[in-house]
Amino acid sequence: MTSIAVIGFGSLLWDLESLAINVRGGWHMYVGPYFPLEFSLVSEKRLGALALVVDEENGAHCPTCVIESARHHLSDATSDLARRERAPLETIGFFDRSNGDSRTANPDRAEIVGKWLASTNYDSAIWTDGASNFLRVTGRPFSLSSAREHLIALDTQSTQEAQRYLRNAPKRVDTPLRRASVDTKWWSARTESQSENKGVSNGKRSRLVDLP
């Protein structure tokens, strides 16, 4: 029986959506291969919030998590993940240990996943293999300062979604932007200002939960 690992590192961990019916068991935290990750994807689904993506240029190497697909064919498993991600099939990476076939935007990533698979009982692995769109969407190269400017410019609903995403991301996904959002005052100042404005408009003071 073919065993397929679904590698996750972002919202997939707390929001399987359509994938929920095609996986078995729960998430195994931080047992997957290390990927360079950063919050450098401007997510339309998440109202312009910055989401995690594999980013060789800006990312920090972080452990990923694994859940087992209930499928027995790699093509079915990749289609399941593409459907959940609302992404083209070509953006779903895979590595098949039985024959060495792979699809990934970076050949080094195939080697990383292949070596990891060799230490497991899985026959193959799939993951979301997208790329940062920050430059294309914002017109500026990704940096901590440009990411900060993008987040500060978000409206209240988008800010709440950005905060929720940062809060829910796996704790050991320790990227430069996440550290900056925790170690500096700019995020708290932003949410406090929005909370006060919302409180005034509603006739009462609202409170947003701080980042971890």
Q: Please state the pTM of the whole predicted model.
A: 0.86
Residue type, 77: A
Q: Reduced to 3 states, what is the DSSP secondary structure of residue 56?
A: coil
Backbone angles phi, psi at 200, to 5 degrees: -65, -45
Q: What is the DSSP letter of 58?
A: T
Q: How many helices (H) and strands (E) does the chain have?
A: 7, 9
| 50: β partners | 42
Strand spans (E) along the chain:
4-8, 23-28, 34-42, 50-54, 60-63, 65-69, 92-96, 102-103, 124-128
- Backbone angle region of 48, left / alpha / beta, with phi > 0 → left and psi within -120 to 50 → alpha: left
For residue 173, give every residue at least 6 positions away whose Cβ sits within 8 Å of its Cβ, in sequence order, or none: 9, 37, 52, 62
For residue 39, give every residue at least 6 positions away whose Cβ sits within 8 Å of its Cβ, in sequence order, or none: 50, 51, 52, 53, 147, 165, 166, 169, 175, 177, 178
Look at the alpha carbons of 86, 90, 25, 165 in this order and tell me if their dihedral is positive or negative: negative
Residue type, 195: S
Tens digit of each residue's pLDDT, the chain (212 residues): 689 999 999 999 999 999 999 999 999 999 999 999 999 999 998 999 999 999 999 999 999 999 999 999 999 999 999 999 999 999 999 999 999 999 999 999 999 999 999 999 999 999 999 899 999 999 999 999 999 999 989 998 999 899 899 989 999 999 999 988 875 565 655 555 554 444 433 433 222 223 32
Contact, 52 vs 71, CB < 8 A? no
**Tokens standing for 183?**
């170690």
